[in-house]
């Protein structure tokens, strides 16, 4: 039985760039444990998130659907109550589907009220938590203004002797100056200082502990655990010794050109005016923050090593499919931008390592795949791993199972294009550009070589990733590339028209019903 139902450990980092891992080519960053996962599995180097911002990206990961289909286009946009998630698809296969960490899910209060769904019932909890059993829900950002007094991690910190109402902030995400004065980790100028928390009490350590608690408790019944770390997402503050593990000499030079800033695309120009972009364009900021970002990655890596060792000790390692990915990247000053949201590789490309312990996957261990992979591929991958049939759900799921790639099966026609979306209605850039709230969207299409970006109300962009991997030269206006631009534009139109919206009837059912009206007695058009 256990052989047919492997566990699924679905690890997500937050804001982890695809290129900030040793196994993805970072020259100075140490991630030996994640690299070891890559050696045991397939390292997908062209994986894209469906939206380079937490909320919509995650809802795509959890529903297996593009943002334009699930509708939760930005952070804190509630997922519609009748969007199916990973939990809905795996529970019928006998899986316990749990969350430890972050989802960025916001409950659709109005939708639940309209349908009389009580959030305190077990069904209401699942709908509120986008289908996960919230073994430990912690979205990891807790300003004093909005901290839940009962946040479990805060309770844990208090038990360890940390004081205050919100030790998440005052200890784990604060530092001290030489006089013992508390300095908030929300301010990037403090990023070089160690957090006021011992490493073993840090958020990353605690989250890992809770994952182990779940795995111990779950025992031998099949489980899917979404282990979702908040780091290396801001606040950029690491506990000792990770705060001092890297220095300015270890960081990659910024990918940016003067031309990008002097003559920007209007939308990117507006984003460059955001505080995070202005700050990250300064070398002082990059040199202070990026070493800490890297330290947080190495810390995460160490805890993944700890977790893998734990799985092995539990006898579960050979029975657990492991995925390591991230919801999106971080500009870190590349292209004169901070944060994420737009479609340059540092923002939109994500790490994606899939370790299938089963014999069938032996032929691909340690390999690198350049296939275009999308976040939405994980739900079908997990459904098929669990013994389900993702193709029976192809009226809902928009991704493709990665198992054929992981098992080295013959794959006739993989996807030609990957897509990602942005809805920046909430950002000052939208106001600066004087756009209505519903018309501040952008869409990315890439075929692996070319990247096309369509902006509502603004001209498109085109980059040649082969000759310009840093995406410094927009060639959309170059007459040599008109055909390419039109081809990608056509691909976007086709994509927009083909989304899976008829989610209440499966394609197989349609096939069964085709031409059946006469059989059912509806004799139209008969003389």
Contact positions with its own copies (CB under 8 A) in 266-305:
274-280, 282, 285
Q: What three-state secondary structure class fits 322?
A: strand
CB of 130 vs its own copies, minimal distance in Å: 13
Q: Is 125 in the site for its own copies (CB under 8 A)?
A: no
Residues 216-255 that bind its own copies (CB under 8 A): 234
The tokens for 222 are 């099949």
CB of 498 vs its own copies, minimal distance in Å: 7
CB of 215 vs its own copies, minimal distance in Å: 28
Separation CA 260–CA 453 (nearest Å) = 16
Q: Is 452 in the site for its own copies (CB under 8 A)?
A: no
**CB-wise, 39 or 508, nearer to its own copies?**
508
Residues 339-358 that bind its own copies (CB under 8 A): 339
Nearest CA to 138 out of 108, 99, 166 is that of 99
* Cβ neighbours around 319 below 10 Å, total: 17
Q: Residue count at the site for its own copies (CB under 8 A)?
A: 93
Q: What is the dihedral of CA 45, 49, 53, 58, to 10 degrees?
A: -120
Q: Is 103 in the site for its own copies (CB under 8 A)?
A: no
Separation CA 112–CA 124 (nearest Å) = 8
Tell which one of 21, 77, 393, 445 touches its own copies (CB under 8 A): 77
**CB-wise, 64 or 357, nearer to its own copies?**
64
**CB-wise, 179 or 511, nearer to its own copies?**
511
CB of 436 vs its own copies, minimal distance in Å: 7
Tell which one of 16, 90, 105, 117 touches its own copies (CB under 8 A): 117
Strands 349-355 vs 42-48: parallel, antiparallel or unpaired: antiparallel
Q: Is 391 in the site for its own copies (CB under 8 A)?
A: no
CB of 476 vs its own copies, minimal distance in Å: 16
CB of 129 vs its own copies, minimal distance in Å: 14
Residues 187-206 that bind its own copies (CB under 8 A): 187-189
Q: Is 514 in the site for its own copies (CB under 8 A)?
A: yes
CB of 3 vs its own copies, minimal distance in Å: 30
CB of 23 vs its own copies, minimal distance in Å: 28
Q: What three-state secondary structure class fits 264?
A: coil
Q: Is 459 in the site for its own copies (CB under 8 A)?
A: no
Residues 360-379 that bind its own copies (CB under 8 A): none
Separation CA 61–CA 375 (nearest Å) = 5
Tell which one of 226, 265, 430, 458 touches its own copies (CB under 8 A): 430
**CB-wise, 213 or 284, nearer to its own copies?**
284
CB of 245 vs its own copies, minimal distance in Å: 22
Q: Is 146 left (phi over 0), alpha (psi -120 to 50) or beta?
A: alpha
Separation CA 423–CA 89 (nearest Å) = 28
Q: Is 73 in the site for its own copies (CB under 8 A)?
A: yes
Q: Is 92 in the site for its own copies (CB under 8 A)?
A: no
Which residues, at least 6 apart from 371, have a Cβ–Cβ distance to it below 8 Å?
44, 46, 405, 414
Strands 373-374 vs 42-48: parallel, antiparallel or unpaired: parallel
Separation CA 40–CA 295 (nearest Å) = 24
**CB-wise, 28 or 121, nearer to its own copies?**
121
Q: What three-state secondary structure class fits 87?
A: helix
DSSP E strands in 424-510: the ranges are 441-446, 450-455, 458-464
What is the number of alpha carbons within 13 Å of residue 282 lying toward its C-beta?
10
């Amino acid at each position: 039985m256990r052989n047919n139902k492997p566990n699924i450990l679905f690890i997500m980092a937050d804001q982890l760039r695809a290129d900030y891992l040793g196994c993805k080519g970072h020259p100075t960053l140490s991630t030996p444990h994640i690299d070891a996962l890559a050696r045991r599995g397939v390292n997908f180097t062209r994986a894209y998130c469906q939206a380079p911002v937490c909320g919509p990206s995650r809802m795509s990961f959890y529903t297996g659907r593009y943002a334009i289909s699930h509708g939760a286009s930005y952070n804190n946009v509630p997922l519609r109550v009748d969007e199916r998630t990973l939990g809905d698809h795996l529970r019928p296969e006998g899986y316990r589907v749990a969350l430890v960490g972050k989802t960025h899910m916001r409950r659709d209060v109005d939708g639940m009220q309209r349908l009389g769904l009580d959030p305190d019932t077990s069904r209401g909890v699942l709908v509120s938590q986008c289908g996960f059993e919230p073994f430990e829900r912690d979205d990891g950002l807790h300003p004093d203004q909005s901290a839940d007094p009962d946040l479990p991690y805060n309770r844990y910190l208090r038990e360890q002797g940390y004081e205050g109402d919100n030790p998440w902030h005052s200890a784990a995400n604060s530092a001290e100056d030489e006089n013992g004065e508390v300095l908030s980790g929300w301010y990037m100028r403090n990023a070089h200082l160690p957090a006021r928390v011992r490493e073993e009490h840090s958020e990353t350590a605690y989250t890992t502990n809770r994952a182990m608690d779940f795995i111990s408790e779950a025992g031998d019944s099949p489980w899917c655990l979404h282990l979702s770390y908040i780091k290396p997402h801001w606040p950029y503050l690491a506990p000792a010794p990770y705060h001092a593990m890297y220095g300015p000499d270890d960081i990659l030079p910024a990918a940016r050109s003067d031309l990008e800033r002097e003559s920007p695309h209007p939308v990117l120009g507006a984003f460059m005016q955001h505080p995070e972009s202005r700050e990250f364009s300064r070398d002082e900021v990059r040199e202070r923050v990026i070493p800490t970002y890297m330290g947080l990655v190495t810390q995460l890596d160490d805890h993944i090593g700890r977790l893998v060792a734990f799985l092995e000790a539990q006898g579960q390692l050979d029975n657990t499919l492991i995925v390591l990915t991230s919801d999106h990247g971080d500009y870190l000053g590349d292209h004169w931008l901070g944060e994420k949201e737009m479609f340059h590789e540092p923002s939109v490309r994500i790490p994606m390592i899939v370790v299938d312990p089963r014999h069938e996957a032996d032929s691909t261990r340690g390999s690198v795949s350049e296939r275009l992979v999308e976040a939405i591929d994980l739900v079908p991958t997990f459904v098929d791993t669990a013994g389900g049939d993702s193709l029976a759900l192809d009226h809902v799921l928009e991704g493709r199972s990665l198992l054929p790639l992981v098992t080295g099966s013959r794959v006739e026609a993989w996807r030609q294009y990957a897509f990602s979306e942005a809805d920046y209605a909430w950002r000052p850039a939208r106001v600066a550009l004087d756009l209505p709230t519903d018309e501040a969207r952008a869409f990315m299409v890439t075929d692996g070589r070319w990247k096309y970006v369509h902006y509502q109300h603004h001209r498109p962009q085109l980059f040649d990733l082969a000759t310009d991997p840093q995406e410094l030269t927009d060639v959309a206006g170059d007459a040599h590339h008109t055909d390419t631009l039109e081809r990608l534009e056509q691909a976007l139109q086709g994509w927009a028209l083909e989304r899976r919206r008829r989610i209440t009837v499966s394609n197989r059912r349609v096939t069964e019903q085709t031409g059946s009206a006469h059989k059912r007695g509806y004799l139209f058009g008969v003389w």
